[in-house]
Every structure is written in C-alpha cells, then in structure tokens.
Structure 1
Amino acid sequence: MKNPAGPKAYSMPLFHFKHQREEDLLSLRFDSAEDLEQRSRRGDIRAGFLLAHLLSTGQGVVADPAHAQRTYQRLRRQLFFRPYTHDAETAFDKARLHHFGWGGRANPKKALRYFRACRRLFRQDADQGDRYATHRLAALYFHGLGGDKDGLAAMHYLRLAAESGLVHAELDMTEMLWHGLGGWRDKTEAARFLEKAANNNRMPRFRALMAEAQYRMGLMALEGLGTTVSLKNGYVWLAIAARYGHEAANERRKALDQRLSLSQQLEFQRAAADWVPRYSPDEGEPPPGPYTAPPTGFYAEAPI
C-alpha cells in the first residue's frame, strides 16, 4: 500500500511553536526536572516553559498536569511586568500563555496584542538574517496569529528559513509544497527540500529531525513518490535513519531484509556505510554528542 510523503501516519505538524522554542526542545539536552524547577523558581523563563511542557506531556518525567499548571501560573507572574514591545521572546511567551490559556484563562484580546508585537519584532529580526525569527514569522502568517492569514507571506518567509539551512523549516517546506498549503503544490520542489533536510548535518542538535527526513526519503524511494522507485535507495535511507536512532526506520529496514538476498543486503549496507552528509557543521555549532531519539509522540502532537 502506498504512503504519500507526509501522510498523517508519520507527518509532523507544521511549525512547532506550540512547544518550547525549537532550539531548546530539539536539542534534547534536558536537565533533570528538579534542576529545571530550581532554575524556573529563580526566574529562568526558558527552564519554566520546558518544565511545564514536559510535565504536561509526560516526556522524560511522570506527567503531572497540576504541577504544569502551577508552573505556567508562575511564568505568568514572572512575565507580568516584563516589557514586550521591544523584546520578541517576551512577546512570544506572553502570546502563547494567553492564546492557549496556560496558567489561567485564555485571553484572545491580549494574545492578539502580543502576537501583533511578535509579527513586528520577528520581521525586524528576520530582516537581519535571524533564521529562527524568519521561521516563526512564517508560522504567524500561516496560522493567522497577530493578523490575517497570508499563505503567500508564510511561503516567502518559510522558504527563506529553509534555504538558510534550518532543518525544521526544510521539513515544513516539504509539507507546504507537497500538500499545496501555501497556495500552490510542487511535489518535485517538496522532494528537493526533503532531501536537503535528510542531508542536513549543519545542525548537530537537530539530528532527530534529520533522521525523520531520512526515514521519509526511504519511504518515498520505496513507493516511487516524487522520485523513481528504488529498493536500494529506499533501503539505504532507512538504514541511515536507523543509524541515527529512528526506530520506525529500523523496523522497516529489518522487514526489507526478509525480502533481500544476502548479496543485496551486503551491497545496500555498504552503500549506507559510505553515505556522508553534504553539509559540515556550522561555525560555532557545538560538536555532535551522543544521539538521543526524540520522545515518543513528539511528532504526533497536533499543530495550532
């Protein structure tokens, strides 16, 4: 049975900004809940949001919605007097608290005011080349937060973020182009961005997303979606994703082993072993550490 690229069974939601900041969550370098609690009480906003997210979802800790709610309430108090008109992160944090009703009642009017500030501030940062701000600005336009929905503007800023090498922007671009969510559909271009994400080793912290892209590349090659059918290419991509800890890719690769001769297995395994990512780490990026797979269900959470 064919699986289109980005089917509901394994697609990730567009724009992960319902979560903690991407660069924090996807680094997967979580401190203990006790350490996050202490840092949050000392005023560390990032630690507080991460702790509340983990307690809400049960990722790496025992789920405790009541504790998560108390943490969000503390964040509301800590952010209450912080000016936001010139601080994109503060505006973004306040907007999410009031939009989702974290730590209190949802307040659409306040959320709108803060999201409007986010649009202005993220646009300023995007004009200075900040790829994270560019990605978030695309999300605001796509979801119609802080103003009207604008698919063309979302595609424009998302393309800038994706072309800059931001791996989750490359995956979002794949979804947008494959499903025509930005106003037009281009499966060939979608496959190009997916391949960029699969080869994107410029950001070692985000190798979980690179592995997801490699898994999708394998499925596309096996089914001939956006490319020609190739058992070898499909096997190689699955093997590479499995090397980076992608469990679903490893299971699919094992299933393929049952269909291959010993000589084919050796040939395909040698090809996977010879794979080298096209990009080297960015200057200033931390060296790759031990790979940690993403928490279960990380990609399945619904978007806004």
Structure 2
Amino acid sequence: MEKLVTTLFLIFATAVWAGDFEARMTTYEKGDFITAASLFKKAAEQGDSYAQYNLAVMYRKGEGVSQDYTEAVRWYKLAAEQGHSDAQFNLAEMYRKGEGVLQDYAEAFRWYKLVAKQGNSKAQFNLANMYRKGEGVLQDYAEAVRWYKLSAKQGSSHAQFNLALMYDHGDGVLQDDAEAVIWYRLAAKQGHLKAQLNLGILYYLGEGVSQDHLRAHIWMELAAMSGMKSAQKSRDRSAENMTSQQIVKAQEMVKKCLASKYKDCD
C-alpha cells in the first residue's frame, strides 16, 4: 500500500509540475514577461532546473527583469549543475565571453566539453576551436580535428569549413586536398561563402580534384555575389582562362544552382 501511495503521489506531483511548467511557458509566450519572470523565479528557488534555465535566459535578455548577466550566470550555473544541457552550454558561453563573470577560458572549456560529450554540435564546434587556438587547454590540432569532425558530421557548415581547412593545411592530420574538397563542398552547399571560394580555388588549381575552370568559376561566382572582394578577384582571374561561351555557361549553372538551393551545382 505504501508503494502505491508513493507512486500515486509521484504521478500527481509530475502532473502538477507539468501543468505549472505549461502555465509559465504560456505566460512567457504571451509576452507577459514580468509575470513569467516571477513564476519562473518562484519555481527556480524551489530547485526546478528548467525554471532556473528560463530565468537565466530572461536575466540575460532583460525580459521582465533588468538585464543582469551576473544573475544570468548564477541561475545558469544552478541549472547546469543539475545536468541541464542548454544551461551548461550557455554557461560556457558566458565564461568564454566574460559576461557576468571574469572571462575564464578554462571554465568555458570545461562546460563545453561536458555538453559536447552529450552530442551538442555547437559545443563540439566551440570545443574544437578552443583546442585549435589553445584557449583554456593546451593547443592540440588532432583533438580539434576530432571535435570538428563530430560537429561536421551533424551538418554544421562552420565545422565542415574548419575541418576542410585542417585538411587543406595539414593541421592535426596528414595534408589531404581530396578530403578538404569533400568538406569544403558540404559547407559550400549550405551557403558558406568562404567554403565556396576555397572550393573554387581548388578547382582552379586542380588540387584534390581534376582542374576545372568552369566549376572554379561557378563556386567563385557564388561567393562573389555576396560582395566578397577576394572572391570577385578570384572569379575575374579564373575568367581569363575561359572562353565567353564557357563564362555564359557558368552563369547559367550558377542560376541553376541557386534555384535548386545548392542541390544541382555540378
């Protein structure tokens, strides 16, 4: 009987908690930030990690309360220590940027790594950056490559680009133009401008891929359309090796590429 009563109590408590959570979120979504902040704070003070996280967000943004990074850090930390992954990530951000706390790369690294191990792509990317730069940890290109790859495989265009750079330069891995092309292409097809330019350059030089001035021009033009000066100069240089007919064809392929949202670019 005691077990049944305990079970019923847990079910009741969970239902009440869920109802309270929905009420707080509904108040927030309606734009009544002052009331929402009050509700979140009450629950946060009782140890609710979700409320602690949301209250931290409100302090960080200044929603319903005066903007206060120090308070944001305090509540993020309480939620993070209970295992709230979003709070852990945001706490790492605060330490990295020095918002509400003294800038502390080592502490940022610690929290990023905790979240990265849970599969968070952004944390994996930021952790890789810290390994590459030696921020909060000894510089380690091999570890940077490992974490970039984990993030890149989840579709992060920034991680794909940085991973391509590592292969391009031979940092933390054996230099491999063909592998660089693979990752530049994946990032380029997500609209990453620098990846588009670098992919175009590799086509132009014939490094990691067969030399192809037409495709070089296509990818350089895609980057150049954003106003990137270096891409415009590279595109103009590639055009010197092309006939007028090839340039017209390249322009048509650029339009086709954009219309297909980068699915039909080759």
The interval holding the TM-score normalised by the smaller chain is 0.5 to 0.7
Partner of 1:148: 138
**Partner of residue 263 from structure 2, selected from 270, 278, 295:** 278
Is the 8 Å Cα contact of residues 92 and 114 (structure 1) preserved in structure 2?
no
Which residue identity does 1:161 align to in structure 2? Answer: S
CA distance in 1, matches of 2:116, 2:216: 37
Which is helix-richer, 1 or 2?
2
User: Structure 1 residues 170 and 241, CA, compared in 2 at 3 Å: closer, same or farther?
Assistant: same
Identity %: 21
Partner of 1:33: none
Count of aligned pairs = 193
Partner of 2:50: none
Is the 8 Å Cα contact of residues 204 and 211 (structure 2) preserved in structure 1?
yes
Partner of 2:147: 157
Which residue identity does 1:263 align to in structure 2? Answer: Q
Q: String of CA shifts for 1:39-84, please: whole Å, max 9, x gaps.
A: xxx943599xxxxxxxxxxxxxxxxxxxxxxxxxx97655574553
Partner of 1:123: 113
Shift of 1:265: 2.3
Q: Where does 1:174-185 land on structure 2 (aligned, <5 Å)?
A: 174-185=164-175
User: Structure 1 residues 244 and 159, CA, compared in 2 at 3 Å: closer, same or farther?
Assistant: same
What secondary structure, in the 3-state scheme, does the structure 2 residue paired with 1:229 have?
Answer: coil
User: Structure 1 residues 191 and 80, CA, compared in 2 at 3 Å: closer, same or farther?
Assistant: closer
Q: String of CA shifts for 1:132-166, please: whole Å, max 9, x gaps.
A: 01111222333333443433332211101111110
User: Structure 1 residues 161 and 46, CA, compared in 2 at 3 Å: closer, same or farther?
Assistant: farther
User: Structure 1 residues 267 and 169, CA, compared in 2 at 3 Å: closer, same or farther?
Assistant: same
Partner of 1:91: 92
TM-score for both structures, normalised by structure 1: 0.53
Which residue identity does 1:231 align to in structure 2? Answer: H
Is the 8 Å Cα contact of residues 71 and 100 (structure 2) preserved in structure 1?
no
Is the 8 Å Cα contact of residues 76 and 94 (structure 1) preserved in structure 2?
no
Quick check: 258-267 or 135-144, which moved more?
Answer: 258-267
User: Structure 1 residues 272 and 157, CA, compared in 2 at 3 Å: closer, same or farther?
Assistant: same
CA distance in 2, matches of 1:239, 1:168: 20
* Structure with the larger RCO, 1 or 2 (CA within 8 Å, 6+ apart): 1
**Partner of residue 253 from structure 1, selected from 198, 211, 235:** 235
- RMSD in angstroms over aligned alpha carbons? 3.3
| Structure of greater Rg | 2
Shift of 1:91: 3.4
User: Structure 1 residues 94 and 141, CA, compared in 2 at 3 Å: closer, same or farther?
Assistant: same
Partner of 1:44: 60
